Structure 1
Amino acid sequence: MKNKIRVVVWGLGVMGSGIAKMVLSKAGFTIVGAIDMDPSKVSKKLYEVLGVDASEDNSCIVTKNAEDVIKKGYADVCLMATASFTKVVFPLIKMAAEAGMDIVTTAEEMSYPRALDPELSNEMDRIAKENKISILGTGVNPGFIMDLVAIMLTGVSDTVDSINATRVNDLACFGKAVMVEQGIGLKPEAFMQGVKDNTIDGHVGFLQSFGMFEEAFNIKLNNIRQEKSPILTTISRNTDIVSVEAGDVAGCKQMGYANLGDKLFITMEHPQQIKPEMENIDTGDYITIKGVPNLNLQIKPEIPGGIATIAICVNMIPLVMNSEPGLKTMLDLPVPRAIIGDVRDLIKVRK
């Protein structure tokens, strides 16, 4: 039998832990390394941290020292769930790439890093090719529902006049970092100050999605702009991570716009909040394409952001491993699909 695909998981927060659990649920994987800085996790066996039964595939020791597991010949793939920004994750990516590992990261900016960091993207592409590995950033959004799926739908279009992508989602399943990025729990005044001084990130991804649209359609968008506003709750809302009182910020509504020529071409609307159902707000994903023909896609309730991000990161592993070396986006790889059966049967190329 072929050797199992050896995986290192870098980051064991909510997303990273979920990724590790899904990897372990699929035949043909083994986790040989896990990295996290949380003192409550370091030096424990992975199965203890994940709260699952022990096996030979989950008994590695969680380390805070990446050098313990990011080294040549140690693993085939590194799954990173650490930070949102390209410049922050670049040193990690470089280290794993030079160790010969294919890389999948949840970093939102890495879904289309050329949008903000073209020179760094060229450097990552060079490093990937030099080390004969591939690098991919992905997630449910950016990387799938508000960009890739919308682009795919235009495959049946004669003409496209405008695209509107809306995602109304629940953030309750995410960890502390996301709550801070969205300003959840703040007073309205503190939220608006955070928008002004750029400490409220909101959704990281509109610029990357616009970049994907530009490449897919071979166009140049202009007058790109974004707006952020607080979603205030009229009742108390609580998650395992945060408690929000009536009148405080329960989420962030973000709008993005881009023109083609002198006309509005893409509108992106993304109100994110915790427990929207508590105020009778339905979640959902909506794509409206005006053109010939007019197209309308509705998914209700939303594609759940937590499990979907976890799943797409894991499901893309064989596609990344089979790809030619280099920095990749979701536009470069085959259609995403679930792993059903033994992942080893899906690997065609061992770089």
Structure 2
Amino acid sequence: MSQKSYRVIQWATGTVGKVSLRHFIENPAFELVGVLVTNPEKVGKDAGELVDLPPTGVLATNDVEAIIALDADCVLFAPMLQDIDMVCRLLSSGKNVVSTIGPFFTTDFSKAEVEQLEAAAQEGGVSFHGCGIHPGFIGDIMPMTLTRLMDRIDRIQVFEIANKLVSPSVYIEFMGFGLTPEELSARPNCMEYAMPTFGESMAMVLAGLGKQVENLTEKHEIALARNDIAYPGGVIRAGTVAGQHWEWTMWTEGKPLLLYHLYYVMGEDMEPNWGLGATSRHRIVFEGNPEFEMTLTASPDAEGKHPFLGIIWTALLGATAIPQVCDAKPGVLTHFDLGVVRPQGLIR
């Protein structure tokens, strides 16, 4: 295991980027050399100030060319939306890139982007890795790891249940909560590419099990608020969208082998209720022989509530993979290529 310090750049400092930025500042395995921000109010501020830490001497900038010119081992790329051309520029400049927004695995949907990334990585002599909590971990490397406990697999179901009333975020507005059902169906859907993106995780599992993808289907359900629901960002009015359930099913050999469920809810005062309870969690259910399930959730906070850790986990899954991505051979790396990631600097 390498003991060297990795020179890193944090690209974007939103909800995910702030977590990884703090990790880089506090973890001796990393040396922060650059921070790219898109908010003009953050330009010129010390990186430490952005995450309530002492000064680091590294000032945030929105100058892309200055960032590309930096001498760095890796960029943690965490904007709200993907920019493959920019990632390729970073790779071509000789910087490894870990992206929290994929792509995660080669499918018909992602093939062109993966080929573009592979060419840029080879040009720069570096590597690219896409990961996150879901997609990028709970729906691919975690179930693949647990399949070793199975004698026969009939079906695998993966659940992400996020109570956004307990853990508010920008995704409340982004996903259309508080709209009427008519408004939600009429506007451009922010989840338009969710099915093929989650499909990358599903395809990775099928590939690991030696099977081919035959079909991928989608179902979307909504729940409406029974009463007004107040949260720090506003109010979800009675009769508007307070819960959404996305279900994606991947078929192989004529059967639904993988089902992924994404439940985002604003508490429990909605109809239908779905019986989820108030706890945010990730859950994987294995059907076959033997049958078992795994639930992953945050420990209760001071109020006894279980916050949703998806944002934090997304950032840390990217940050902790950086040493092995930097030390790997050039190219696009999936979880299969990285093997068992060995995080550095966590005991401090």
- On whether the aligned pair clears a TM of 0.5, the verdict is yes
CA distance in 1, matches of 2:122, 2:217: 34
Unmatched 5+ residue regions in structure 2?
A: 299-305
1:51 aligns with 2:52: yes
Equivalent position amino acid for 1:320 in 2: V
CA gap 1:283/1:83 in 2 versus in 1, 3 angstroms = closer
CA gap 1:323/1:171 in 2 versus in 1, 3 angstroms = farther
Aligned to 2:334: 329
In 1, are the aligned partners of 2:225 and 2:239 still within 8 Å (CA)? yes
CA distance in 2, matches of 1:342, 1:299: 22
CA gap 1:200/1:102 in 2 versus in 1, 3 angstroms = closer
Report the CA distance between 1:44 and its aligned residue. Answer: 2.0
1:33-62: CA deviation from partner (whole Å, max 9, x where unpaired): 1111211111222222222211xxx32221
1:223 aligns with 2:220: no
CA distance in 2, matches of 1:119, 1:51: 40
Report the CA distance between 1:175 and its aligned residue. Answer: 4.3
Size of the aligned set, in residue pairs, is 332
Equivalent position amino acid for 2:318 in 1: C
Report the CA distance between 1:327 and its aligned residue. Answer: 0.6
Aligned to 2:126: 133
Report the CA distance between 1:79 and its aligned residue. Answer: 0.6
CA distance in 1, matches of 2:340, 2:9: 24
Aligned residue among 89, 100, 105 for 2:99: 105
CA gap 1:82/1:102 in 2 versus in 1, 3 angstroms = same
Aligned residue among 158, 167, 189 for 2:160: 167
TM-score, length of structure 2 as denominator length: 0.85
| Aligned counterparts, 1:227-238, within 5 A | 227-238=219-230
CA gap 1:315/1:331 in 2 versus in 1, 3 angstroms = same
**What secondary structure sits across from 2:251 in the alignment?**
strand
Aligned to 2:239: 247
In 2, are the aligned partners of 1:15 and 1:174 still within 8 Å (CA)? no
Equivalent position amino acid for 1:82 in 2: P
1:289-311: CA deviation from partner (whole Å, max 9, x where unpaired): 22232232233458720211121
Report the CA distance between 1:20 and its aligned residue. Answer: 0.3
**Structure 1 residues 283-292 or 88-97, which shifts more?**
283-292
Question: Identity rate of aligned residues, in percent?
Answer: 22
CA distance in 2, matches of 1:115, 1:251: 31
CA gap 1:45/1:127 in 2 versus in 1, 3 angstroms = same
Aligned residue among 75, 94, 103 for 1:78: 75
Aligned to 1:346: none
CA gap 1:277/1:142 in 2 versus in 1, 3 angstroms = farther
Aligned residue among 307, 313, 326 for 2:312: 307
| Aligned counterparts, 1:259-278, within 5 A | 259-275=251-267
In 2, are the aligned partners of 1:96 and 1:103 still within 8 Å (CA)? yes
Aligned to 2:36: 35
1:155 aligns with 2:155: no
Equivalent position amino acid for 1:90 in 2: I
Aligned to 1:6: 7
Equivalent position amino acid for 2:327 in 1: N
CA distance in 2, matches of 1:313, 1:236: 37
Report the CA distance between 1:134 and its aligned residue. Answer: 0.9
Two-structure CA RMSD over aligned residues (Å): 2.7
Aligned to 1:65: 63
**Structure 1 residues 313-322 or 42-51, which shifts more?**
42-51
Unmatched 5+ residue regions in structure 1?
A: 344-351
**What secondary structure sits across from 2:57 in the alignment?**
coil
TM-score, length of structure 1 as denominator length: 0.85
Aligned residue among 108, 112, 120 for 1:119: 112
1:198 aligns with 2:195: no
